[in-house]
Amino acid sequence: MDDAAGLAIAYEETKKSYEEGGIPSKITTTSFRNIETATLQNAGRLPAPTYSSSTIYTTLSPCDMCTGAILLYKIPRVVIGENRTFKPENGGGEDYLRERGVEVVVVDDEGCRGLMERFVREKPGVWWEDICEVGEVGKREEREEGEEEEREEEEEA
C-alpha cells in the first residue's frame, strides 16, 4: 500500500469517528485497522513479521502511549497526516521514534489538519482532556491572546 492510500484510510476512519461524535484520532496499519493501542492488542497475537514489516498510518503525531506501542510491536515506519494540532512540546513521539530507528514521515495533510482544528475548536474541553492536559484550555487561550496582542503592537509600530 502506498502512503497516500494508507493515509486516506486513516483519514476516512478519523472522519467517521468525528461524524459519530467521537474523537478523531484513529490510526491504521498496512495489515489491519486500529484505534490507538487498544486495537493493536485486540488484533490478537500475530506473527512478529506482520508488525515488523508494517507501516502505521496516523492522522496525528503519536502520543506517548502510541509511541510506546509502535516500539513494542517493532513497527518500522510511521506516516503522520499532520503534527501541528498535536505534538508534545519536547518533540515527543516523533523524535523518540526517530532516535529508536523508526522512519517517521510527516505529510502535513490539509484534510487531517482541518478536521482536527475543527474538532479542537468545537470541543476544546474534550480535546484537552483526551490528551491529558485538562488545565491547558485556559492557558492556551491566554497564550493566544498574548500572541495576538503582540502582533497588533508590532503592526502599529
Sign of the CA dihedral 5, 25, 40, 102? positive
Given the residues 12, 36, 129, 136, select the one marked as catalytic. Answer: 36
- Count CB neighbours of 20 within 10 A: 8
The single residue listed with the C-alpha cell 475548536 is 121
User: Which residues share a beta bridge with 55?
Assistant: 77
Nine cell digits for residue 56:
502505521
Examine the residue annotation and report whether 152 is marked as an active-site residue of this protein: no
Q: Compute φ and ψ for 88, nearest 5 degrees.
A: -50, 140
Integer Cα distance of 62 and 64 in angstroms: 7
Residues labelled catalytic: 36
